[in-house]
Structure 1
Amino acid sequence: MRTCLVLSALVFLASCSGCRKSQAKQLAAPDCILVEKDFGSDGTVPITVDVVAEGLEVPWGLAWLPGGDALVTERPGRIRLLRNGALQPAPVATVNIASSSEGGLLGIAAHPDFASNRQFYVYVTNDVQGSTRNHVERWTLSEDHASATFDRVIFGDIPASKYHDGGRIRFGPDGMLYVGTGDAREPDNAQSLDTPSGKLLRLTPEGEVPSDNPFPGKPAFLLGIRNLQGFDWKDRDTLYVADHGPSGELLRRGHDEVSVVRKGDNLGWPTLYSCEASEGLVTPSLTWDEAVPPGGAALYTGTAIPEWKGSLLIGSLGAKHLHRVVFSQENPRQVAQHEVYLRNTWGRLRETIMGPDGHLYVTTSNCDGRGDCTARKDLILRIRR
């Protein structure tokens, strides 16, 4: 009898989920595009892909340094140096990490004053007194860039889990450090200001809460996020955010999303789904029925591919392509065009970032246990005309 009741409840919930999706379409925000089949049409702008480096293992983040060098994180815990377009054989440093499916050594960012202090930051999953947590560490690079020393943890106690660990860190145009976190498989935490889970955090370079944060005394800059790995700035006050959708929670799947946000915004997880609209919550500008999900995201600021100027470029993992999103000039939250590049050619794409040479750089993530890890292992790619 108990089994019958459980099965009946599941059938009812599945039925309600379908009703909710139907209702969502009735309540859909007019500026939201729902892609119901595939991911989009193939892009028509001609591009060339160069392999800059190979032999990496899940290169998760890339930070450019003054002079053209770059630091690359490998998720198993190594920081590597890219110099003159060549990957140096010896790691700059090895970081202790906890065993975690999606955690490890993740995002990396160079201090805005790196030229004078040689400081950089990494997002790390580690064991803290028997508990797995994420935290942001600060390191100092040697003058010759061949080694690095640990300084301190500037912000810790970010909940970690096997999945939904977030991990992208970037300095904003205001000189503050922005940290994308995941909900650590506790969806409701995304709506709580008492935990850093499911947020975009904003910190000073010392790890303190800025006095002008939208929620006084709190590190949260945005809330209602599921698993944030991709974001960039349209301008000083406006960000593009590419967030992961559900993978079974609340009987929902897919619907990764791209949103246009400002300080204090609530992206609605786990309340909003697909193109639903609700007062006080940000409806995405673009979402897909099928799971993408997004890796990194970068605003194209170069001139090598002029047609891409001002576009948002998003690396996709499961969908295995580079997605270009063009926003309307008349309505900044509305997508005017979106298209697919590199479809099923380089596999899973993770970091997406502009280089100092004006080209877009993308890393593959084929050796993360979910892709096809060949003898060349993971790559760093440069996208040019």
Structure 2
Amino acid sequence: MRAWTTLLIVICFCLTACGGGGGSPGTPGPTPNPNPPPTATTGTLAVTASGLPAGTNASVRVNGPSNFQQDLTGSQTLTGLAPGSYTVTAAPVTAGGVTYTASPTTQSAVVTAGATASVTVAYGGAPVNIALSQVASNLDNPTFLTAPAGDARLFVVERAGRIRIVDNGNTLSAPFLDISGRVFTGGEGGLLSMAFDPQFAGNRYFYIYYTDPQQNIVIERFSAASNPNLADPTSGLVILRIPHPGFTNHFGGQVAFGPDGYLYLGTGDGGGAGDPNRNGQNLNSLLGKLLRIDVRNASAAQPYAIPAGNPYLNQAGRRAEIWAAGLRNPWRFSFDGNQLYLSDVGQDRREEVNIGAADAAGLNYGWNTMEGTLCYNAATCDRTGLTLPVFEYDHGTNDANGCSITGGFVYRGSAIPGLQGRYFYSDFCRGFLKSFLAGGGNVGEQRDWSVGDIGNVVSFGQDGQGELYLMTSRGIVYRIVRSTTP
């Protein structure tokens, strides 16, 4: 009986402690938030750039999911990024003759939602020096050099009307093409340049720019033969013939394919001092212009078509082939991605390089109203609607700085990373080798490279791997290479 009484007392005590029987309800729990914060869906990437001199921009590209891409010029924190793996690539930067390279050049970072990933791009510097390496000699007035993309051979154009192949340092005895019997070489005439079709691997087409015995400017297409070191001399198709009567100078000379796949050619103003025939500003003349034509379906019946975006298409009194006007003698121009570098030889005072978007149609570069940024014809010096050069230099007393610019290319090869993005040029009268870096409508990092006495530089060239060459009036072809000496 006493045991039962004790059990009942214990049961009653437990019920009271547990709140049973109307006891204390205990301490209430936290009240749920009716508006909870959203779950993070994006992350952050902090990129830190170090090791560059003050005022020098980094060159960093970030790639990530969903085709994300952003270029950075310094330390920056990127927010709102989709989770995933990001690649950070740093290109070399040159300042004050020193190239700064990041190590490693490529890094990866994983961005997670609600968190910050970090990458440090650490640059280290070393001087950049170049030299010229002779790759061919005893050529007959070489005027140009090119090659199909990826091809190890060099195709060197000779003014007399031949194209020679240099293969592994050896100039082949048989010319790739010889049209010397129908080329006018008086004055500034001759076989002046060539361009391989973007689809050369499939269609075997290439195009040449020359002057014929009547002094006309001729653009003609040929095909390579079954022997890859020979062209088919019977395959010629004249694409365009431009009359150039009277004077024997200012033929222009460049033919090249643009990033849009169309064929461009730069024609001189017809010759004579000061453009006496006023061709540069005459939109009914093909002289003194940059022309753009479509040759993809060229045939004898219709050798070219007019691209739809040409600025003077279907305009009375204006030639539809014209892409840009106001040029004196655009001996050389080149494309760098979607940028056009167009050098124009000056008259008495200024040599110029025009730089802009390759798809900018209808520009007027000013000749003969302007010579560079100087008024050439002071009586009618109206700059309205004119595009002035991004870069120019004065001849100086007794042409101390030069008198005839030889435009080149932007370096995009792989042998000398420190030269990436630099535009190289020379001057026929002074034989120097110079470069600059263009960006934002300005030029910087100008450098005069000490490469010794090389004579008159006639032209630059670019091989199938993007390496650069220059040709001299001495019949020598040089390649720009890295130098191990300061």
Which of the five TM-score ranges fits, normalised by the shorter chain?
Answer: 0.7 to 0.9
Residue aligning to 2:237: 152
* Structure 1 segment 107-126 matched on structure 2, within 5 A: 107-126=193-212
Determine which of 184, 202, 208 is the counterpart of 2:305: 208
- Rg (Cα) greater in structure: 2
CA distance in 2, matches of 1:327, 1:67: 29
Determine which of 336, 359, 364 is the counterpart of 2:472: 364
Shift of 1:170: 0.9
Given residue 153 of structure 1, which amino acid in structure 2 is its aligned partner? V
Residue aligning to 2:174: 90
Residue aligning to 1:231: 333
Given residue 136 of structure 2, which amino acid in structure 1 is its aligned partner? A
CA distance in 2, matches of 1:357, 1:182: 30
Q: Deviations over 1:276-335 (max 9, x none)?
A: 48221111122222144222410111232233211111132112112202123xxx2211
Contact 1:256–1:294 under 8 Å retained in 2: yes
Residue aligning to 2:130: 47
CA distance in 1, matches of 2:326, 2:415: 36
Given residue 311 of structure 2, which amino acid in structure 1 is its aligned partner? P
Q: Tell me whether 1:341 sits opposite 2:439 in the alignment.
A: no
SS of aligned partner of 2:343: strand
Determine which of 185, 191, 195 is the counterpart of 2:281: 191
Contact 2:215–2:243 under 8 Å retained in 1: no
* Structure 1 segment 271-282 matched on structure 2, within 5 A: 271-276=369-374, 278-282=383-387
Q: Name segments (4+ residues, structure 1) moved above 3 Å.
A: 41-45
How large is the Cα RMSD of the aligned pairs?
A: 2.2
SS of aligned partner of 2:446: strand
Q: Tell me whether 1:284 sits opposite 2:385 in the alignment.
A: no
TM-score if structure 2 supplies the norm length?
0.62
CA distance in 2, matches of 1:364, 1:46: 21
CA distance in 2, matches of 1:67, 1:312: 23
Residue aligning to 2:424: 313
Gaps of 5+ in 1: 1-40, 247-252, 367-377
* Structure 1 segment 245-264 matched on structure 2, within 5 A: 245-246=346-347, 253-261=348-356, 262-264=360-362
CA distance in 2, matches of 1:336, 1:287: 13
CA distance in 2, matches of 1:348, 1:79: 21
Given residue 86 of structure 1, which amino acid in structure 2 is its aligned partner? N
Contact 1:42–1:341 under 8 Å retained in 2: no
Determine which of 134, 147, 156 is the counterpart of 1:72: 156
Q: Deviations over 1:81-101 (max 9, x none)?
A: 122332112222221212421
SS of aligned partner of 1:350: strand
Given residue 159 of structure 1, which amino acid in structure 2 is its aligned partner? H
SS of aligned partner of 1:109: strand
Given residue 289 of structure 1, which amino acid in structure 2 is its aligned partner? D
Determine which of 122, 145, 151 is the counterpart of 1:62: 145
Residue aligning to 1:15: none
Contact 1:320–1:344 under 8 Å retained in 2: no
TM-score if structure 1 supplies the norm length?
0.78
SS of aligned partner of 2:363: coil
CA distance in 1, matches of 2:406, 2:224: 26
Of structures 1 and 2, the one with the larger relative CO (CA 8 A, separation 6+) is 1
Q: Deviations over 1:60-105 (max 9, x none)?
A: 1222025322322100111111223321122222212124211111
Q: 1:78 to 1:42 in 2, by over 3 A?
A: farther
Q: Tell me whether 1:171 sits opposite 2:273 in the alignment.
A: no
Shift of 1:118: 1.2
Q: Deviations over 1:331-378 (max 9, x none)?
A: x22112322225652111122233233421111123xxxxxxxxxxx1
Shift of 1:199: 0.8
Given residue 208 of structure 1, which amino acid in structure 2 is its aligned partner? A
Residue aligning to 1:327: 438
Q: Deviations over 1:45-65 (max 9, x none)?
A: 311211111111111122202
Residue aligning to 1:268: 366
Q: 1:234 to 1:69 in 2, by over 3 A?
A: closer
Shift of 1:135: 0.9
Q: Tell me whether 1:383 sits opposite 2:480 in the alignment.
A: yes
Given residue 362 of structure 1, which amino acid in structure 2 is its aligned partner? L
Residue aligning to 1:137: 220
CA distance in 1, matches of 2:283, 2:394: 29
SS of aligned partner of 1:115: helix
Gaps of 5+ in 2: 1-95, 99-126, 299-303, 315-319, 376-382, 396-401
Shift of 1:254: 2.9
Given residue 322 of structure 1, which amino acid in structure 2 is its aligned partner? L
Q: Percent identity among equivalent residues?
A: 31
Contact 1:61–1:168 under 8 Å retained in 2: no
Residue aligning to 2:267: 181
Given residue 279 of structure 2, which amino acid in structure 1 is its aligned partner? N
Residue aligning to 2:414: 303
Given residue 364 of structure 2, which amino acid in structure 1 is its aligned partner? N
Residue aligning to 1:28: none
Residue aligning to 1:241: 342
Shift of 1:158: 4.2
Residue aligning to 1:38: none
Shift of 1:198: 0.6
Shift of 1:222: 1.2
Given residue 108 of structure 1, which amino acid in structure 2 is its aligned partner? M
Contact 1:296–1:353 under 8 Å retained in 2: no
Q: Deviations over 1:152-207 (max 9, x none)?
A: 11011242631111011111111111101101126210111211101111111233
SS of aligned partner of 1:307: helix
Q: 1:263 to 1:319 in 2, by over 3 A?
A: farther
SS of aligned partner of 2:280: helix
Residue aligning to 2:6: none
Contact 1:81–1:92 under 8 Å retained in 2: yes
